[in-house]
């Protein structure tokens, strides 16, 4: 008899713990899926084994026994990572488990299909076959596998009939794999690689040595746009495969997955690569997951969910464009893919490569301290200089009487480009849902005096609010700085830019790439391929167009309003702006000619914009670190967001206040000084629940102990008078809503 610790499929936070069960299967292992009796009614539940012991501290006679076992659903590594996610991100055990299992995995248990076609045909021709069973076999032969619920509700076939036919060996109940291949239509794009540049060779030598040592190590490849980072990735993967190891490549956006598939299939072949991302159908996810689990592939490519692929013996994990915010999950578990990638690499004694032309401040800080190794690529692979970046002061445009969204400089450059048959990208970052308040005459932006961050306009209240501390002020009629009347909420969307562009350049073929145009499956691939094939003259888009795409024909990039990203309510606003300008600019001049970039802004003197214009990451980093240290923002501590949600607004607020008091009592003065709030969330009500937020700046080194304390307080509140209040915890939040 074995005693197992089991995480149970249950949504209640108060039941998020490991339960002890007895199991007569001596071969039961961590990662096995078990079916167990649960609760006073002994309802059948699914659970996952985290620990196996020979003895238990409880009375064996009072311990319930497992009903059934499904072997090896999760690996030991997956169990280890689930426990890490529970500890680090304060998610439920089951939230972590679900990341490692394809969403449609258990759905297939309720499907019935023909086990053997020849036997089924003989059964149909046998006059002694029962009529109801004949009807079932005929349906399955005609329609293929069907859900048992459909057979019952639509065709009136009882479960007793299904059971009888299955016992005869005519049908099988379980998972059906069709061996679908997502993105089969994408053609391989073999790269004409001849040899490394000196910079690439030096970097590759370090990566090769680290791989050969079979020890965990983290690298940052800080390479300018077009410096050949992808080629370094591929050659490192080749080296890992030669050592009988495997590789994972994750990219920040699904639209980039297509480009990655083209390149990696061209290098390694279609059969050696599996693709994982959230836009695949449940069947496609299941089929790819099974290919990986059966060890049929050595390379997995995809968005952040590809990190949970059941790959073994990993030699290298690559996080391309590591600075991207999309590597942070929005829903529970709110994990950071970069942290999990590091944990997987560590578990496998493999190397982790973080690549970017604009590394996140936190990652670069680690490289500066020597915690991770930095490899630098300062030159573009084709030898073409970095694009020329011009900054246009939109305040001057207003003085000249130009109220258009296009400056004279940008309009003239667009006209020239179209005449020379070159393509154009227009970039407008509409990140988030709200606008900031700015004066178009002097460039003044309303900022919170407590937090130093831009305040957001709330139309319903005619007020500006700081989304960090909750400070609220009446919307001014005149600019507090210059007294001008041009102060207003600032914002324009890509759809309007598309409309205006079409009117100004009626002969140009204009397209748009944003979340509205890529909702339909395959639409992103179509838009990108149209641009690559030269069918699109002007592509207008959000940050989707700035993320690592490789287009040869782009002669000009126009950044319509750099201030939108500069003035969002986020301590990373300057970092985001520097990254987006640099990345968007990097789409230009990747062919043989120098590209041009026009940056339109009302804050031309801001250090993030001037540093991006001069391609100077180091100067930006130095200025940013001074501000981060002054305000105790990461990497000088942890930022934690708590959100309290309840249908009763007073309960949400009281719960937040009492939670803060409990935290202050347990943690002491050093923590209480860093608690900001509670205050209404920027989106104060969602789906009938009122929302209050608390931000915590935590500077102590004992982060694990503090997380445990937060989890204990939250669990306690789930049993008390605030059990109706949902409490969300987000470590290093990327969205303050």
278, part of any domain: yes
How big is the CA angle at 279 (ends 276 and 282), to the nearest 5 degrees?
75
Q: Does 315 map to a domain?
A: yes
The pLDDT tens digits of the residues spanning 637-680 come to: 889 999 999 999 999 999 999 999 999 888 877 787 889 889 98
User: Is 270:298 a contact under the CB 8 Å cutoff?
Assistant: no
DSSP string, 49-113: EEEEES--SS-GGGSPBPSEEETTSS-HHHHHHHHHHHHHH---HHHHHHHTS-TTTGGGGGEEE
3-state DSSP assignment of residue 616: coil
CB atoms within 10 A of CB 618: 10
Whole-number Å distance between alpha carbons of 186 and 271: 13
Which residue carries 């949400």 as its tokens?
Answer: 652
Of 157-171, 186-200, 367-381, the range with the lowest mean pLDDT is 186-200
Q: Can you give the pLDDT at residue 35?
A: 87
Which two tokens mark 515? 């979340």
Residue 534 forms part of a structural domain = yes
pLDDT at 518 over 70: no
**Which of 562, 593, 627 is the C-terminal boundary of a domain?**
627
432 falls in which pLDDT band (50, 70, 90)? Answer: very low
Alpha-carbon distance of 352 to 319, in angstroms, equals 8
- DSSP letter for 180, please: -
Residue at 206 is within a domain: yes
Q: What is the pLDDT, as a whole number, of residue 407?
A: 93
Measured distance CA(668)–CA(195) in Å, rounded: 59
pLDDT reported for residue 431: 35
- Asked which of 568, 593, 627 is the last residue of a domain, the reply is 627
Please tell me the distance from the alpha carbon of residue 219 to that of residue 364, in angstroms, as a whole number. 11
39-55 mean pLDDT: 87
Whether 590 and 654 share a structural domain: no
Number of domains in the chain: 5
d(CA 692, CA 695): 10
Tell me the two tokens of residue 731.
């470590």
Say whether the peptide bond before residue 300 is cis (omega within 30 degrees of 0): no
Quote the CA–CA distance of 707 and 704 in Å, as a whole number: 5
Mean pLDDT of 98-125: 79
Q: Which of 152-166, 197-211, 532-546 has the highest mean pLDDT?
A: 197-211
Which one of 87, 103, 119 terminates a domain?
103
Same domain for 145 and 228? Answer: no
Q: What is the pLDDT of residue 191?
A: 59
Structure tokens belonging to residue 100: 């490692």
> Which two structure tokens, joined as six digits, stand for 610?
């001037």
Q: Does residue 398 lie in a domain region?
A: yes
Q: What is the pLDDT of residues 578-618, one digit of tens each?
A: 998 888 777 776 556 788 899 999 999 999 999 999 999 99
Predicted confidence at residue 545, as pLDDT, reads 67
* R_g over Cα of the chain: 29
**536 in the same domain as 596:** yes
Residues 298 and 405 in one domain: no
User: From the CB of residue 39, how many other CB atoms can be counted at a distance below 10 Å?
Assistant: 10
Q: Does 354 lie in the same domain as 216?
A: yes
Task: Tell me whether residue 712 is in a domain.
Answer: yes
DSSP for residue 357: S
Q: Is residue 563 in some structural domain?
A: yes
Q: How many CB atoms lie within 10 A of CB 121?
A: 13
| Residue ranges making up the domain that contains 580 | 388-435+491-627
pLDDT at 184: 56
* Whether residue 341 sits in one domain with residue 242: yes
Hey, is 702 helix, strand or coil?
A: coil
Instruction: Tell me, yes or no, whether 251 and 150 share the same domain.
Output: no
Instruction: Give the pLDDT score at 626.
Output: 95
pLDDT (0 to 100) of residue 40: 75
- Separation CA 674–CA 654 (nearest Å): 20
Residue 310 placed within a domain: yes
- Whether 464 has a pLDDT exceeding 60, the answer reads yes
Could you tell me if 364 and 223 lie in one domain? yes
200-233 per-position pLDDT tens digit: 999 999 999 999 999 999 999 999 877 889 899 9
d(CA 45, CA 205) in angstroms, rounded, equals: 52
Taking residues 434-440, report their average pLDDT.
72
CATH number for 66: 3.40.1440.60
């Amino acid at each position: 008899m074995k005693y197992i610790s089991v995480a149970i499929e249950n949504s209640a936070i108060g039941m998020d713990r490991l339960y002890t069960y007895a199991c007569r299967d001596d071969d039961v292992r961590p990662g096995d899926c078990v079916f167990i009796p649960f609760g006073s009614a002994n309802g059948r539940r699914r659970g996952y084994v985290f620990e196996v012991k020979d003895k238990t501290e409880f009375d064996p006679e009072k311990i319930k026994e497992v009903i059934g076992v499904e072997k090896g659903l999760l690996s030991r590594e997956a169990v280890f990572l689930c426990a890490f996610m529970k500890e680090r991100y304060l998610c439920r055990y089951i939230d972590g488990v679900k990341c490692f299992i394809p969403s449609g995995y258990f759905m297939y248990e309720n499907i019935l299909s023909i086990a053997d076609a020849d036997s089924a045909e003989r059964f149909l021709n046998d006059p002694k076959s029962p009529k109801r069973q004949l009807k079932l076999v005929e349906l399955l032969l005609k329609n293929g596998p069907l859900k048992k619920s459909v057979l019952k509700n639509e065709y009136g076939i009882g479960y007793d009939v299904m059971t009888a036919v299955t016992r005869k060996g005519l049908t099988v109940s379980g998972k059906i794999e069709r061996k679908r291949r997502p993105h089969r239509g994408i053609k391989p794009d073999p790269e004409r690689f001849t040899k490394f540049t000196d910079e690439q060779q030096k970097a590759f030598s370090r990566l090769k040595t680290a791989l050969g040592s079979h020890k965990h190590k983290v690298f940052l490849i800080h390479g300018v746009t077009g410096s050949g980072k992808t080629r370094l990735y591929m050659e490192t993967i080749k080296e890992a495969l030669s050592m009988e190891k495997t590789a994972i490549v994750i990219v920040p956006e699904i639209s980039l997955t297509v480009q990655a598939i083209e390149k990696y299939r061209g290098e390694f072949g279609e059969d050696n690569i599996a693709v994982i991302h959230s836009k695949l159908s449940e069947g496609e996810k299941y089929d790819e997951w099974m290919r990986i689990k059966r060890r049929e592939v050595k390379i997995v490519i995809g968005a952040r969910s590809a990190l949970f692929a059941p790959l073994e013996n990993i030699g290298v994990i690559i996080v391309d464009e590591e600075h991207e915010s999309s590597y942070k999950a929005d829903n529970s578990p709110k994990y950071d893919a970069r942290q999990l990638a590091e944990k997987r690499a560590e578990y496998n004694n493999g190397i982790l490569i973080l690549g970017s032309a604009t590394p996140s401040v936190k990652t670069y800080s680690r490289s500066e301290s020597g915690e991770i190794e930095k490899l630098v690529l300062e030159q573009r692979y084709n030898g073409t200089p970095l694009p020329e970046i011009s900054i246009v002061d939109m305040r001057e445009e207003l003085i000249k009487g130009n109220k258009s969204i296009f400056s004279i400089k940008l309009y003239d450059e667009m006209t020239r480009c179209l005449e020379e048959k070159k393509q154009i990208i227009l970039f407008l970052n509409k990140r988030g849902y709200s606008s900031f308040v700015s004066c178009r005459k002097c460039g003044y932006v309303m900022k919170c005096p407590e937090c130093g961050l831009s305040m957001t306009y709330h139309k319903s209240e005619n007020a500006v609010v700081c989304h960090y501390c909750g400070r609220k002020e009446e919307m001014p009629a005149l600019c507090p700085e210059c007294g001008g009347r041009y102060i207003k909420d600032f914002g324009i969307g890509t759809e309007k830019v598309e409309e205006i562009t079409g009117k100004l350049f009626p002969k140009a073929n204009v397209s748009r790439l944003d979340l509205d145009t890529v909702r339909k499956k395959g639409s992103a691939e179509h838009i990108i391929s149209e641009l690559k094939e030269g069918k699109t003259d002007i592509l207008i888009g959000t940050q989707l167009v700035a993320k690592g795409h490789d287009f040869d024909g782009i002669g000009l990039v126009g950044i319509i309003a750099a201030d939108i990203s500069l003035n969002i309510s986020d301590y990373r606003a300057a970092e985001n702006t520097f990254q987006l300008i640099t990345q968007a600019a990097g789409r230009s001049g990747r062919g043989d000619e120098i590209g041009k970039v026009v940056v339109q802004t009302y804050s031309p003197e801001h250090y993030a914009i001037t540093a991006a214009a001069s391609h100077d990451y180091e100067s930006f980093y130095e200025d940013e670190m001074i501000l981060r240290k002054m305000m105790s923002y990461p990497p000088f501590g942890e930022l934690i967001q708590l959100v309290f949600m309840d249908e009763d607004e007073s309960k949400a607020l009281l719960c937040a206040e009492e939670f803060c008091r409990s935290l202050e009592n347990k943690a002491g003065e050093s923590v209480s000084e860093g608690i900001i709030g509670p205050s209404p969330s920027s989106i104060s009500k969602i789906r009938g629940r009122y929302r209050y937020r608390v931000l915590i700046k935590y500077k102590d080194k004992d982060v694990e102990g503090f997380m445990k304390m937060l989890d204990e307080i939250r669990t306690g509140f789930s049993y008390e008078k605030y059990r109706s209040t949902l409490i969300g915890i987000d470590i290093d939040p990327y969205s303050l809503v």
